[in-house]
């Protein structure tokens, strides 16, 4: 019955969508209404499609004394109402307040729930039921032997956890646990930090929170959008499918490196360089780099104007620069002030040379004449080139590329940094930018300001081009240009023009291009989001935080991470230090304590590594054992490769295998990569999980980075089933608990 209703809803949305797309023209209001309809129906269809699998996964039976009218509630991936019957609820969206007891009820606090039922389905067929009785009387009545024990709920969870991994993250709506639920539905309106060890479901919780917030605060959030920041592209791929399946489209997923519109990171910095670029010292360096582009000529520059000469001397330029700087506007916006001041002085010079009144009498030039002279100067290309060179119009890309590739520019702009840091910033023969450059570009964009005039002109040009394209499309359709049509007077062809003109077509294309808030946001550096979620938040540098905070002035954020897993030397080990400058102490810390990924045998080994990173922390409690001990195998150096290959080949079961190595070891094994086998550095494996993990030469992982211990901790905690270590060098002492094999 529910699937029938789902089909009907989908069919309705498709029809309405086609209708909306067919309409064109009209008043701006009609167009904007149409745009919202198109967006709404598109989102609806995506939502219904995503709900197809496991549409209804749960049911709660309520004590009739608590809710006599509605003792049964079905819980699912979308909400469905019964139109024929006074809009009764047939299926409750998992995010609805009435669905909450499904996640929270326990035998100790049943919240009126007598029974929780998990419903398993496969392509529209029910394949299994699991009942959990929350009050003993109901259990006995139903003849359930094991009574109130939560066994069935646990079995749904364990089935989910033991399933072989596919390389795509699954939603957890069927088995959200109560400490997770509290975070997902938190009403906290400022910064919330979710700290939790590996595998505690931080990523899952962050994504479900996004879905919950969009559901609950639809009005506020759908327009502004929600931004989710993750550590790398592989990770975004991994989680990318979860959100649409939760039914949300107003969400932009991005890495820090991709957050600056129009620039994609193509270059990778060394860890040390990344650390310098991530530090707050860069704010001053960049300020100085911009000031260094505001020049004063060392020798006077003579320019010819109207057969006479005028001189740009130090005094003139210094005064103009002072005036522009004291406006406190960003560089590009202060430029017109500089130019006016220079032109004013040059015009005065010209007037003084040519037109001083005879014997001190009145000047030969009227005010209007002087204004004309200034205008002429402004349109004199040679003169303007000379003026522009002193205070050029600049783009962030240009300033940063020039700075990083020039020793002398670095020596002036970064003079307050130690010489070795300056050397780390310097790059030779590198084109393109790195992920650590994105926050620097963003900072520069603020310092430079956008000269709106140029931007508006570009927008107009683009719009004209779009109209021209649309015209072109119409011409192709009709086979000729409009003026020919008039000659031919072919009524059929004229009808095509009657139906739609170029600007209407362009509008319609424009409308399709601008479907979601997320897409609009991605192209706009100054977009401010309704909510921002950061995963692996411990990895962000101080500069990256500045970039992010610009995008969320209301500071409504959810930050999830684990300071014990910080791998980036530019990242942080303390939430307070990161957040202090932006929200002082007004942020809330919540913790997740149960590990759903890694079996207890592996966590026993990881515990020793964590003790080295921070003795005050303890590993999260694993919900399950795997029954196999993690092992270490020492082999001669020249056999490492062969043993790794053999170990990978021996894994024939379903699920994913990962070979994790130091950055410089990855290439050696790349060729092992296959559908179910990944070869990754620890950095690339951050946030991911695999059934089986093989770590190669842990000593090299340790030695490779100042945060080597954290990297090792991340590597150890990626496995859902089994872990092995292959090494030729000494096994690091912290791994002593591994079982040696030969």
Ligand X SMILES: Nc1ncnc2c1ncn2[C@@H]1O[C@H](COP(=O)(O)OP(=O)(O)OP(=O)(O)O)[C@@H](O)[C@H]1O
Rank residues 48 and 238 by Cβ distance to ligand X and give the closer one: 238
Classified as helix, coil or strand, 309 is strand
Which of these segments, 138-146, 155-163, 248-256, 374-382, binds ligand X (CB under 6 A)?
155-163
CA distance 721 to 459: 54
Rank residues 241 and 516 by Cβ distance to ligand X and give the closer one: 241
Place of tokens 């996004």: 210
Least distance from ligand X to the Cβ atom of residue 677, Å: 19
Least distance from ligand X to the Cβ atom of residue 688, Å: 8
Q: In 356-451, which residue ranges form alpha helices assigned H by DSSP?
A: 367-378, 381-390, 396-404, 407-413, 419-425, 438-448
Angle at 556 between CA 38 and CA 554, to 5 degrees: 90
Per the structure block, which two tokens stand in for 323?
């005036």
Q: Decide if residue 172 touches ligand X (CB under 6 A).
A: yes
Which of these segments, 110-118, 196-204, 320-328, 336-344, binds ligand X (CB under 6 A)?
196-204
Reading across the β-sheet that carries 56-62, which strands appear in turn? 80-82, 88-93, 72-76, 56-62, 113-122, 125-133
Least distance from ligand X to the Cβ atom of residue 198, Å: 3
Q: Is 200 annotated as a binding residue?
A: yes
What are the E-state strand segments in 468-602?
Answer: 531-534, 557-561, 587-592, 594-595
Rank residues 201 and 439 by Cβ distance to ligand X and give the closer one: 201
What are the E-state strand segments in 66-156?
Answer: 72-76, 80-82, 88-93, 113-122, 125-133
Q: Is 199 annotated as a binding residue?
A: yes
Which of these segments, 65-73, 154-162, 546-554, 725-733, binds ligand X (CB under 6 A)?
154-162
For 646, residues 6+ apart whose C-beta sits below 8 A from its C-beta are: none
Angle at 445 between CA 440 and CA 451, to 5 degrees: 165
Place of tokens 């054992």: 625
Least distance from ligand X to the Cβ atom of residue 172, Å: 4
Rank residues 421 and 720 by Cβ distance to ligand X and give the closer one: 720
- By beta-carbon distance, which residue lies closest to ligand X? 201
Determine contact, residues 174/160, Cβ cutoff 8 Å: yes
Per the structure block, which two tokens stand in for 340?
């006016």
Q: Is 234 annotated as a binding residue?
A: no
Q: Is 202 annotated as a binding residue?
A: yes
Least distance from ligand X to the Cβ atom of residue 161, Å: 6
CB atoms within 10 A of CB 542: 19
From candidates 180, 316, 566, 678, binder to ligand X by CB under 6 A:
180
Interface with ligand X: number of residues (CB under 6 A): 24
Place of tokens 């150890």: 716
CA distance 346 to 315: 12
Which of these segments, 171-179, 326-334, 517-525, 648-656, binds ligand X (CB under 6 A)?
171-179
CA distance 145 to 147: 6
Least distance from ligand X to the Cβ atom of residue 33, Å: 40
Rank residues 203 and 647 by Cβ distance to ligand X and give the closer one: 203
For 262, residues 6+ apart whose C-beta sits below 8 A from its C-beta are: none
The closest alpha carbon to 570, from 545, 587, 588, 548, belongs to 545
Which of these segments, 170-178, 248-256, 457-465, 505-513, binds ligand X (CB under 6 A)?
170-178
Q: Decide if residue 691 touches ligand X (CB under 6 A).
A: no
CA distance 38 to 44: 10
Burial pattern 42-52, b for ≥16 Cβ within 10 A else e, equals bbbbbbbebbe
Sign (positive or negative) of CA dihedral 17, 20, 23, 28: negative
Least distance from ligand X to the Cβ atom of residue 623, Å: 9
Rank residues 54 and 196 by Cβ distance to ligand X and give the closer one: 196
Rank residues 42 and 717 by Cβ distance to ligand X and give the closer one: 717
Determine contact, residues 229/549, Cβ cutoff 8 Å: no
From candidates 80, 152, 176, 680, binder to ligand X by CB under 6 A:
176
Contact flags string 232-261 toward ligand X, x per CB under 6 A = ------------------------------
From candidates 38, 39, 42, 175, binder to ligand X by CB under 6 A:
175
Q: Is 197 annotated as a binding residue?
A: yes
DSSP 466-482: HHHHHHHHHHHHHTS-H
Least distance from ligand X to the Cβ atom of residue 670, Å: 24
Contact flags string 540-579 toward ligand X, x per CB under 6 A = ----------------------x--x--------------
From candidates 202, 293, 633, 727, binder to ligand X by CB under 6 A:
202
Q: Decide if residue 113 touches ligand X (CB under 6 A).
A: no
From candidates 717, 722, 724, 734, binder to ligand X by CB under 6 A:
717
Q: Looking at the chain, how many residues does it have? A: 742
From candidates 203, 507, 558, 678, binder to ligand X by CB under 6 A:
203
Rank residues 106 and 170 by Cβ distance to ligand X and give the closer one: 170
Partners of 80 in beta bridges: 91
Place of tokens 């006077």: 300
Least distance from ligand X to the Cβ atom of residue 686, Å: 7
Which of these segments, 192-200, 281-289, 398-406, 428-436, binds ligand X (CB under 6 A)?
192-200
Least distance from ligand X to the Cβ atom of residue 519, Å: 26
Per the structure block, which two tokens stand in for 501?
């003109």
CB atoms within 10 A of CB 365: 18
Q: Decide if residue 439 touches ligand X (CB under 6 A).
A: no
Q: Decide if residue 687 touches ligand X (CB under 6 A).
A: yes
Footprint of ligand X on residues 592-651 (CB under 6 A)?
596-597
Least distance from ligand X to the Cβ atom of residue 94, Å: 12
CA distance 210 to 221: 10
Rank residues 41 and 596 by Cβ distance to ligand X and give the closer one: 596
Least distance from ligand X to the Cβ atom of residue 119, Å: 16
Determine contact, residues 723/641, Cβ cutoff 8 Å: no
Least distance from ligand X to the Cβ atom of residue 174, Å: 7
From candidates 200, 232, 507, 662, binder to ligand X by CB under 6 A:
200
CB atoms within 10 A of CB 8: 13
Least distance from ligand X to the Cβ atom of residue 199, Å: 4
Determine contact, residues 717/601, Cβ cutoff 8 Å: no
Q: Is 196 annotated as a binding residue?
A: yes
Binding residues for ATP: 196-203
Binding residues: 196-203
Residues in contact with ligand X by CB under 6 A are 157, 160-161, 170, 172, 175-177, 180, 196, 198-204, 562, 565, 596-597, 687, 689, 717
């Amino acid at each position: 019955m529910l699937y029938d209703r789902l089909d009907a809803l989908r069919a309705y949305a498709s029809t309405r969508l086609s209708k909306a797309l067919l309409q064109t023209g009209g008043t701006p209001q009609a167009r904007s209404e149409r745009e919202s309809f198109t967006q709404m129906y598109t989102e609806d269809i995506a939502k219904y499609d995503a709900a197809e699998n496991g549409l209804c996964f749960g049911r709660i039976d309520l004590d009739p004394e608590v809710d006599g009218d509605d003792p049964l509630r079905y819980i699912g991936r979308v909400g469905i109402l019964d139109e024929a019957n006074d809009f009764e609820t047939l299926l409750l969206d998992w995010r609805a307040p009435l669905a909450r007891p499904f996640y929270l009820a326990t035998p100790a606090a049943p919240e009126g729930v007598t029974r929780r039922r998990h419903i398993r389905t496969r392509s529209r067929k029910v394949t299994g039921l699991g009942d959990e009785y929350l009050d003993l009387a109901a259990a006995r009545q139903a003849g359930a032997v094991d009574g109130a024990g939560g066994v069935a709920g646990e079995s749904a969870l364990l089935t989910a956890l033991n399933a072989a991994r596919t390389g795509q993250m699954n939603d957890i709506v069927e088995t959200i646990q109560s400490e997770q639920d509290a975070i997902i539905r938190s009403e906290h309106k400022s910064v919330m930090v979710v700290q939790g060890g590996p595998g505690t479901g931080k990523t899952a919780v962050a994504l479900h929170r996004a879905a919950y917030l969009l559901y609950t605060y639809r009005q506020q959030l759908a327009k502004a959008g929600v931004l989710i920041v993750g550590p790398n592209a592989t990770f975004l791929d991994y989680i990318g499918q979860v959100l649409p399946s939760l039914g949300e489209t107003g969400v932009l997923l991005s890495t820090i490196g991709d957050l600056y519109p129009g620039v994609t990171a193509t270059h990778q910095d060394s860890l040390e360089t990344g650390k310098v670029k991530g530090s707050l010292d860069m704010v001053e360096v960049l300020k100085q780099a911009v000031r260094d582009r505001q020049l004063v000529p060392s020798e006077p520059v003579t320019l010819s104007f109207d057969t006479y000469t005028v001189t740009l001397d130090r005094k003139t330029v210094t005064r103009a620069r002072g005036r522009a700087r004291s406006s406190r506007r960003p560089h590009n916006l202060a430029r017109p002030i500089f130019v006016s001041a220079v032109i004013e002085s040059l015009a005065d010079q010209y007037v003084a040379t040519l037109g001083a009144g005879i014997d001190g009498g009145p000047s030969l030039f009227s005010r209007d004449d002087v204004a004309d002279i200034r205008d002429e100067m402004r349109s004199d290309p040679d003169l303007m080139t000379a003026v522009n060179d002193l205070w050029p119009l600049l783009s962030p890309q240009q300033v940063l590329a020039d700075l990083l590739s020039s020793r002398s520019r670095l020596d002036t702009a970064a003079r307050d940094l130690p010489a070795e840091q300056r050397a780390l910033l310097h790059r030779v023969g590198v084109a393109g930018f790195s992920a650590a450059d994105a926050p620097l570009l963003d900072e520069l964009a603020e310092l430079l300001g956008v000269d709106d005039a140029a931007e508006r002109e570009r927008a107009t040009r683009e719009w004209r081009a779009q109209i021209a394209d649309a015209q072109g499309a119409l011409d192709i359709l009709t086979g000729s240009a409009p003026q020919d049509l008039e000659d031919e007077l072919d009524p059929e062809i004229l009808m095509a023009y009657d139906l739609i003109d170029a600007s209407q077509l362009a509008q319609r294309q424009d409308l399709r291009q601008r479907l979601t808030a997320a897409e609009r946001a991605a192209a706009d550096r100054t977009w401010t989001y309704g909510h921002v979620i950061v995963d692996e938040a411990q990895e962000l540098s101080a500069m990256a935080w500045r970039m992010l905070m610009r995008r969320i002035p209301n500071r409504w954020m959810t930050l999830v991470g684990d300071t014990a897993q910080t791998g980036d030397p530019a990242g942080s080990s303390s939430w307070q230090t990161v957040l202090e400058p932006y929200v002082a102490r007004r942020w809330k810390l919540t913790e997740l304590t149960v590990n759903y990924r890694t079996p207890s045998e592996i966590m026993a080994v990881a515990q020793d590594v964590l003790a080295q990173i921070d003795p005050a922390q303890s590993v999260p409690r694993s919900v399950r054992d795997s029954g196999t001990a993690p092992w270490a195998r020492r082999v001669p150096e020249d056999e490492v490769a062969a043993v790794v290959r053999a170990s990978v080949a021996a894994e024939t079961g379903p699920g994913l295998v990962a070979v994790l190595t130091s950055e410089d070891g990855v290439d050696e094994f790349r060729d092992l990569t296959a559908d179910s086998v990944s070869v990754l550095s620890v950095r690339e494996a951050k946030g991911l999980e695999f059934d089986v993990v093989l770590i190669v030469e842990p000593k090299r992982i340790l030695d490779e980075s100042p945060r080597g211990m954290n990297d090792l901790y991340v590597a150890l905690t990626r496995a859902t089933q089994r872990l092995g270590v292959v090494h030729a060098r000494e096994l690091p002492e912290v791994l002593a608990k591994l079982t040696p094999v030969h």
